[in-house]
Amino acid sequence: MRIRLLPVAVLAAALLPAAPAAAKSYDVPAALGSAVDRVKDRSSLPVLLPQRLALDTSARLYGTGSGNTRSWELTLGGAPNCGANVCMLAFFSAERGGTPAFKRQVRLRGGVTGYFKPLTCGGSCSPPEIQFVRGGVLYTIQAKVPDAKDAGQRRRLVRAANSALRAGPR
């Protein structure tokens, strides 16, 4: 009697969790490229960005951005013109007069209070996020960071927010 192993092997492989994407540290302003200049041309709000950010990918990044007098946003996607959560890897925004959406506080450099939200999943997943207010402007950093636990996500996003505060306007 001959046993057919191929169907069993295929089924076993399908049931295994997918290997995690390789994490890599990126130079954020360089990855965003000319999108930063477009935002600066259209918005009067300071552009605060971290210098580096580790993301849960090793893919090529594509930067997009838009802005107006009261807000701006910049996105790093894993595909050109990424408009969907599935290809969004990092999102940065500013909104004049905005208020933080989260209650969990973290301490940032210079006595600035940050507001952190870990990865949340329901019908779909929302990446971890940190917000802080500087000069009446609410800044948001949301990123698919390589840490699965809340503490690692918080540590990476606090580091990113502190880097943005340290670098100042771009």
Domain for residue 111, yes or no?
yes
| Greatest mean pLDDT among 20-29, 96-105, 115-124 | 96-105
Residue 76's domain comprises 20-167
Q: Answer whether residue 13 is part of any domain.
A: no
For residue 15, being part of any structural domain is answered with no
Residue 97 has pLDDT above 60, yes or no: yes
Give mean pLDDT, residues 76-105: 91
The total number of structural domains that make up the chain: 1
User: Is 115 within the bounds of a domain?
Assistant: yes
- Sorted by sequence, the CB contacts under 8 Å of residue 64 that are 6+ apart come out as 35, 74, 75, 77, 81, 82
Question: Structure pTM?
Answer: 0.85
Model confidence at 22, pLDDT cuts 50, 70, 90, reads: low
